[in-house]
A and B are shown apart, each in its own frame.
Chain A
Amino acid sequence: MSIYIIGSSAIIKKTESAQGIRDEILQSFSFTDEVQYVDFVPARHLRRMSSILKNSSASSQMALIDSGVEMPDGIIVGTGLGCLQDTENFLKNVWNSNEELLSPTNFIQSTHNTVAGQIALILGCTGYNTTYSNRGLSFEKALMDGKLLLSESGEKKILVGGADEHTASLEKALDDMGCSFEDNKLNEGSVFMLLSSTPNENSTEIAGFATADKLGKLERQFEEILSGSGISAENIDLVLTGGPDKDFESFHALIPKGISFFNFKPITGEFFTASSAGVFLANQILRKQIMPSADSPKPEKIKNVLVLNHCLNTDYSLYLLRI
């Protein structure tokens, strides 16, 4: 069974490090300071919403609009840390008030499934609904479930997303943990895509995807995916990497010379579900037929894009998208 992305949207906070990228590609993303959230959420609800809820409510609906589908048959969200800001706010109030006189709003919005629940509520979607939280593989677990749902009868169009939020204490905690993100600043974003087993005029196919805890394992899976999908390494037109080249150096031996590598993290920044933004970017490049950087030579037709991501050197994922 084939899996197609038939609509997509990515809302991220604009980073300062995105340079040397073609405007048409950059503009595929929606930036948090430009989104008209009131178009997607009633103003009275917006006031109480943290950024992950605002971004996910808007991004999920934008993905549906992009696909021309009004109601999905299921909603699956991956989030590394869930609704962190509401969690922190509620905890702060618990300790500052010595456990007295607490307002429930932050608590209600603190659970990981608030995101998928909120989208269901806005859409009135009573279909399958679930949430995965597996650090740098949270989006991948959601996608795995989406793929399984499509293979089962009944659920035909599945909204799958990755969403995470940035807070000051997250930055500090990760810093204390010795996590180095180098040039990729911590960021936040909500990426949604509508999956279907039947294509539409805008669709790109997820021809393969894999996860691993080590880069070496990912290399072996890459070779299996190539043989399974009938795509040879020579046919890959572009490799999008979630991190600097050196993080994926061994893949240079597997990809023929002359094929461009492009690091997408300067655009998206780093977050636990940033791989979803890499998949979104591949989807846009294939749809628009524009290479992300002016430096990359453009093939006659961009047919196959490989996405490689890692998070904290433990969570690796790989996607092969084709049009």
Chain B
Amino acid sequence: MGQRSFISGMGIISAIGNDVESNLSSLISKQSGIENPKLLGTQHKDFLCGEVKLSNDQLAQELDADPTHSRTLLLGMKAALETIDNANLSKEYLESTLFFNGTSVGGMDKSEWAYKGLTDGTTNKFAREFNTHDCGEITRLIASQIGLNSNVYALSTACSSAANAILLAGRFIRAGIADRIIAGGSDALSVFTLNGFNSLRILDPDWCKPFDANRNGLNLGEGAAYLLIESERSLAKRSAEPIAELVGFGNANDAYHQTASSPEGKGATKAITKAIESLSTELNIDYVNTHGTGTVNNDESESNALKKVFGPNSPPYSSTKAYTGHALASAGSLEAVFSILSIKNQTVFPALNVSKPMDILPNLVLEPEKKKLRQVLSNSFGFGGNCTSLIFQSV
């Protein structure tokens, strides 16, 4: 089976808090962070978004970083530094720690404005913005700013990017080719993505309500989150304590449509099944943190997939998207942190805004509940049919 993958630290910044503790207290008190955007420079201020409450200037000041950097970079630095701190990872180990980062917009929040200057003729230079536009450079910069190795992996599979970064970390450690990896993702809100999702007509003008029979679309969000994933020998070497274990992971493609999921959840079923088959231990999933975006299509497809895998008595499930909004490439790592917080606190976090649950699956969690949680399944699905499932276990 290979080496086991332990989580020994995590960091997060999202619409519901700037660190792990504040995210947890928002989840327990059913406090959503979704509201009209104050920072994003869009015409569509009426759309509800899960915007991180710190401005770029505030982030940069806290990080002692250049405030003109892309927000994706600043958010990534913030969450990665918390991860390092949370894991007590001392400087001597940083250089030998790999960095796997999921991002889909990269530095688009900067390059889109420079490109506007090109289209309306107000500027003809966008070299600097272009230089940090790509996912690879944003990832390399996050790593270099916090002292990590330059051998970085940038994964870009739309809304499953961060989940695939965590999956890759699990595979590297299992295969014995790495012992210590910071894995997760970062994505900032941008005018590009807000308009993109609006053009697809899948933004709910009201607060999103995943798994409600009358759900009407998603709210976009942003954020960054990372896990420090370590082998047993790395933990022993630095006398570190694990907080959870990554025990299963699966990746599959829906191969159905460019953006929509198959109604029966073909790709999701396969990803969950592969994650279960990959388990390094027995199956004990007690709760599912779903992808649950709140679109008519996703929630139907995902419910059908869960039903297919677990039968009519599937484990309790909920979506945390109504707290954070859909943070796109970083969603998988935000929800990995939430899954681990569930395990650590033996608490399931409730769905929000649901007045009439869908009738495909019972057990939608509607109130925070203390519960024995051995394993939590976390799903992330994206455009392009990319489906990834992760299983975390208590230690």
Given contacts A117-B386, A133-B136, A135-B137, contact A102 B155 (CB under 8 A): no
- Let me know if B43 and A111 touch, CB within 8 A: no
State whether B253 touches A129 (Cβ < 8 A): yes
Report chain A residues within 8 Å CB of B116: 91, 95
By a CB distance below 8 angstroms, the chain B residues around A88 are: 115
User: Is the pair A145, B386 in contact by a Cβ cutoff of 8 Å?
Assistant: no
Contact B171 A152 (CB under 8 A): yes
> Does any Cβ of B come within 8 Å of A118's Cβ?
yes
Q: Mark B303-342, 1 if CB is under 8 A from A, else 0.
A: 0000000000000000000000000000000000000000
Q: Once bound together, how far apart are the Cα atoms of A151 and B176, in whole Å?
A: 12
Distance between B163 CB and nearest chain A CB, rounded to angstroms: 10
- CB <8 Å contact, A148 and B258: no
Interface assignment of A235: CB less than 8 Å from any CB of chain B: no
Which residues of chain B come closer than 8 Å to A123, judged between CB atoms?
255
Residue in B44, B139, B175 whose CB lies within 8 Å of A99: B44
- Asked if B195 is at the interface of the complex by the 8 Å CB criterion, the answer is yes
Contact A131 B191 (CB under 8 A): no
Interface-located stretch among B15-23, B75-83, B125-133, B223-231:
B125-133
Contact between chains at B131 and A112 (CB < 8 Å): no
B257 at interface by CB-CB < 8 Å? yes
**Cβ-defined contact, A117 with B384, below 8 A:** yes
Q: Give the distance to chain B from A175, nearest Cβ to Cβ, in Å.
A: 8
B134 near A117: Cβ-Cβ < 8 Å = no
In whole angstroms, what is the CA distance A217 to B226 when docked?
29
Contact of B386 among A129, A134, A152 (CB under 8 A): A129
Kindly specify which of A74-82, A238-246, A257-265, A290-298 makes contact with the partner chain: A74-82
Q: Is B253 a contact partner of A90 (Cβ separation < 8 A)? A: no
- For the complex, what is the distance from the CA of A2 to the CA of B155, rounded to whole Å? 25
Partner of B195, one of A87, A102, A211: A102
Q: Which of B214-268 contact A (CB under 8 A)?
A: 251-259, 266-267
Q: Mark B375-395, 1 if CB is under 8 A from A, else 0.
A: 000000011111000000000
Evaluate contact between A80 and B134: CB separation under 8 angstroms.
yes
Q: Are A121 and B157 in contact (CB under 8 A)?
A: no
Q: Is the CB of A120 within 8 A of B136?
A: no
Q: Does A173 contact B (CB under 8 A)?
A: yes
**Complex interface: chain A residues within 8 A of B154 (CB):** 132-134, 141
Is A96's CB under 8 angstroms from B157's CB?
no
B326 nearest CB across to chain A (Å): 14
Q: Report the bound CA distance from A107 to B172 in whole Å.
A: 33
Residues of A within 8 Å of B131, CB to CB, are 173, 177
A113 to B175, CA, bound (A): 25
Within 8 A of A (CB), among B164-223: 164, 168, 171-172, 175, 177, 191-192, 195-196, 198-200
Q: Does B104 contact A (CB under 8 A)?
A: yes
Given the known interface contacts A126-B255, A169-B118, A176-B127, the answer about A107 and B196 at a Cβ–Cβ threshold of 8 Å is yes
Compute how far the CA of A176 lies from the CA of B114 in the bound complex, rounded to whole angstroms. 13
A148 with B137, Cβ < 8 A, contacts A111-B384, A130-B251 known: no
- Distance A111 CA – B384 CA, assembled complex (angstroms): 9
CA A99 – CA B150 in complex, angstroms? 38
Query: Which of B42, B156, B254 is packed against the most chain A CB atoms within 10 Å?
Result: B156
Measured in the bound complex, the distance between the Cα atoms of B168 and A130 in whole Å is 10
Select one of B115, B125, B127, B156 contacting A113, CB under 8 A. B156
CB-based contact B127/A177 at 8 Å: yes
User: Quick check: is B87 within 8 A (CB to CB) of the other chain?
Assistant: no
Inter-chain contact A176/B126, CB cutoff 8 Å: yes
Known: A95-B115, A213-B150. A120 touches B156 (CB 8 A): no
Binding site for A on B (CB under 8 A): 42-44, 104, 106, 112, 115-116, 118-120, 125-127, 130-131, 134-137, 139-140, 150-158, 164, 168, 171-172, 175, 177, 191-192, 195-196, 198-200, 251-259, 266-267, 270, 382-386
* Contacts A87-B192, A169-B118 supplied; 6 other A-B pairs, CB < 8 Å: A99-B195, A112-B135, A118-B258, A124-B255, A130-B157, A148-B177
